[in-house]
Structure 1
Amino acid sequence: MPTSGTIPRSALSADNLALIEAVSRLGSMAAAARELGMVPSALTYRVRQIEDALDVLLFDRSARRAVLTPAGAELLRAGEYLLNELDAVAQRVKRVATGWEPQLTIAADALIARDTLFELCEAFYATGAPTQLRIRSETLSGTLEVLQNGLADLALGIAAQISSPGLQSATLGSVSFVYAVAPHHPLAAVEGSLSEQDIRPHRAVAVADSTQRGRGMSHNLLPGQDVLTVPTMHHKLEAQLRGLGSGFLPLPLAQPYIAAGRLVVKSVQQTERQIRVAYGWHSTRVAGDSGRALRWWLDQLKHERTRDALLNRHHQQ
């Protein structure tokens, strides 16, 4: 008998699993042997070999029919899953050979509308492409960094210029930011434009830069100001809705809450913010017949409505 951890994989071959399934379905070794074109003694020997390799009994031989033991039933159940997976892998390998990537990683900045991004994922899956998608949530300089480091194939919402060899970029659009506070926040009651002196005593809410290098970027934070740092733009929105702090929010994300009276827009003496962002990709990954998944995404991004939706169509949470 084999010891634990030394079970030969040949015992779980597709042929052996088909043999076990035939015996179980037909109820006898002899009937399964006839269907499979085998001599009954040869089939019985194969079954015993499988049982010896796994160190279990697969069939209850005390019954008149060949009845699976619990171990045998589990093998058949798991074996069906394995066979389906093998079929799926074979299909993916065949399609990948035609130019589809095994996996495509997309880095989405905190500014990107999640609903629109997932709608694009749905449309991509509807094509039947074999490529597996991976979405990374990044912020500020971290969005560009993962693209430059090769950890992403496509980056959405880059705020900096791309100058790295092998990378290309195109304009995604512009996003306006407004300074917003909850109605019960102390700054909501201040008349006129807010000065630095008005803002400094109150906590700011900032989204953490996801860069792995240094301290990353920070925007509109005043020296000595208390800061609540959160991981995503939606966390920042939630914190400001609760009155935990104040700060600039993307207008498309904040607009439903402004209209509902849950946020108050305040004029500030600082320059009102509007930033232009881009999307970037590895140009070498769409060369020739390869990179069909990345090429699909780039084709979608050529449409102005798609780019606008990625920046502006945030659904109210």
Structure 2
Amino acid sequence: MPLYRPKSTIEQWRILQAVVDFGGYAQAGDALNKSQSSLNHAVSKLQHTLGVQLLEVKGRKAYLTKEGEVMLRRSRLLTQNVEELEQLADNMTSGWEPEITIACETIHPIEKLYSALEEFYPQARGTRVRIADEVLTGTKERILEHSADLVIIGGDVPKGYSAETLETVSFIAYCGKSHSLAERTEVDIEELTQELQIVISDSSKKPEESGGWLKAEQRWTVSNFFQAIEILKRGTGFCWIPTHLAKHEVEQGNITPIQLTSTREKSVLTHLVTPTPNQLGPGATLLKNLFLKQYQE
């Protein structure tokens, strides 16, 4: 099959876009630092080559035809893809990474990370960002395997790695409003061993049952806290949930804290770890600094 040879050039489409965006040949010429006649020639040649009229001039202003509107929209995708491709090549030669991976413990409040990403985006140079949810020792595994650029971990940081302290996450044992535990004003924590506990599965390939309160003999394991909350709302089981994740459902009256006589609240301190600080690229470094800035404001 013969190799397709394009009839048009990227520069011709870029000129067409400029003529439309700036409202005419003269204005586009000033913006591109080209003569009006050269732009006119480029667009005329493009129309002749394609056999489609893209622009029509009324007075001193050029207007898109209906066919031109369709072609212009598609051409913007074309020129954008070329710009991104060239930017990617530039990023590679300058050391700016094409993708950044963030492993985030699901208990950590995510709003500050989103704010950092919002600030990062205009400076991202087309770099892709991948956010991976991890549970319990899943983040520890990410650190030890160096499989993420930045890791937000809850609890103990593996030995040999430095970390930035982020914030304390509080946990409370919750049940549904229709659960028998919801009616009681005092519940001994040991009584929970006889109840069905909803637990979040450890995302590590080699999970360790060392985190959280796991004394109940009856357990249902789910992938995330949102699934756990949906089960609680049906009056089934109890679950230790970060207070910030349960807040809305508590306010809506769907779930309620269990009134334990002791150890009503547990807490976990979260940290930001850079598994390979000496290899951290400029993009990840920028994102890291923007994220940490959220805790200084």
Q: Fold conserved (TM > 0.5)?
A: yes
Q: Secondary structure at the match of 2:9?
A: helix
Match of 2:220 among 215, 222, 228: 228
Match of 2:138 among 134, 137, 142: 142
For 2:214, give the aligned amino acid.
Answer: L
C-alpha distance 175-77 of structure 1, shift in aligned 2 (>3 A): closer
Task: Please list the CA deviations of residues 21-61 of structure 1 after superposition, one character each: whole Å capped at 9, or x if unmatched.
Answer: 89xx9xxxxxxxxx68xxxxxxxxxx9xxxxxxxxxxx8xx
Is residue 192 of structure 2 the alignment partner of residue 199 of structure 1? yes
Is residue 275 of structure 2 the alignment partner of residue 302 of structure 1? no
Structure 1 runs, 4 residues or longer, greater than 6 Å off = 75-80
Which residue does 1:105 correspond to in 2? 101
Supply the distance in 2 between the matched residues of 1:280 and 1:100 (Cα, whole angstroms): 20
Match of 1:179 among 173, 182, 188: 173
* TM-score normalised over the length of structure 1: 0.66
Supply the distance in 2 between the matched residues of 1:126 and 1:81 (Cα, whole angstroms): 19
Match of 2:153 among 151, 157, 179: 157
**Unaligned runs of at least 5 residues, structure 2:** 17-40, 43-48, 53-70
In the TM superposition, what is the alpha-carbon distance from 1:236 to its structure 2 partner? 2.2
Supply the distance in 2 between the matched residues of 1:258 and 1:77 (Cα, whole angstroms): 48
In the TM superposition, what is the alpha-carbon distance from 1:307 to its structure 2 partner? 4.2
Q: Is the 8 A contact 2:166 2:270 kept in 1?
A: yes
In the TM superposition, what is the alpha-carbon distance from 1:134 to its structure 2 partner? 0.7
Match of 1:212 among 193, 197, 205: 205
Task: Please list the CA deviations of residues 199-252 of structure 1 after superposition, one character each: whole Å capped at 9, or x if unmatched.
Answer: 233211111100012455452122522x12111222223322332320211122
Q: Secondary structure at the match of 1:302?
A: helix
* TM-score normalised over the length of structure 2: 0.70
Supply the distance in 2 between the matched residues of 1:76 and 1:301 (Cα, whole angstroms): 38
C-alpha distance 190-299 of structure 1, shift in aligned 2 (>3 A): same
Is residue 248 of structure 2 the alignment partner of residue 256 of structure 1? yes
Q: Secondary structure at the match of 1:273?
A: strand
Supply the distance in 2 between the matched residues of 1:252 and 1:151 (Cα, whole angstroms): 28
In the TM superposition, what is the alpha-carbon distance from 1:79 to its structure 2 partner? 8.2
Which residue does 1:284 correspond to in 2? 278
Is residue 235 of structure 2 the alignment partner of residue 243 of structure 1? yes
In the TM superposition, what is the alpha-carbon distance from 1:81 to its structure 2 partner? 4.6
Q: Is the 8 A contact 1:141 1:216 kept in 2?
A: no
In the TM superposition, what is the alpha-carbon distance from 1:162 to its structure 2 partner? 2.3
Task: Please list the CA deviations of residues 259-294 of structure 1 after superposition, one character each: whole Å capped at 9, or x if unmatched.
Answer: 4433221233563311212111121123xxxx2222
In the TM superposition, what is the alpha-carbon distance from 1:187 to its structure 2 partner? 1.0
Equivalent residues, number: 252
For 1:232, give the aligned amino acid.
Answer: N
Task: Please list the CA deviations of residues 165-224 of structure 1 after superposition, one character each: whole Å capped at 9, or x if unmatched.
Answer: xx431211211111111211111123413342x323321111110001245545212252
Identical columns (%): 22
Q: Secondary structure at the match of 1:210?
A: coil
Q: Secondary structure at the match of 2:257?
A: strand
Task: Let me know the Cα RMSD of the aligned residues.
Answer: 3.7
For 1:18, give the aligned amino acid.
Answer: T
Q: Is the 8 A contact 2:104 2:134 kept in 1?
A: yes
In the TM superposition, what is the alpha-carbon distance from 1:255 to its structure 2 partner? 2.7
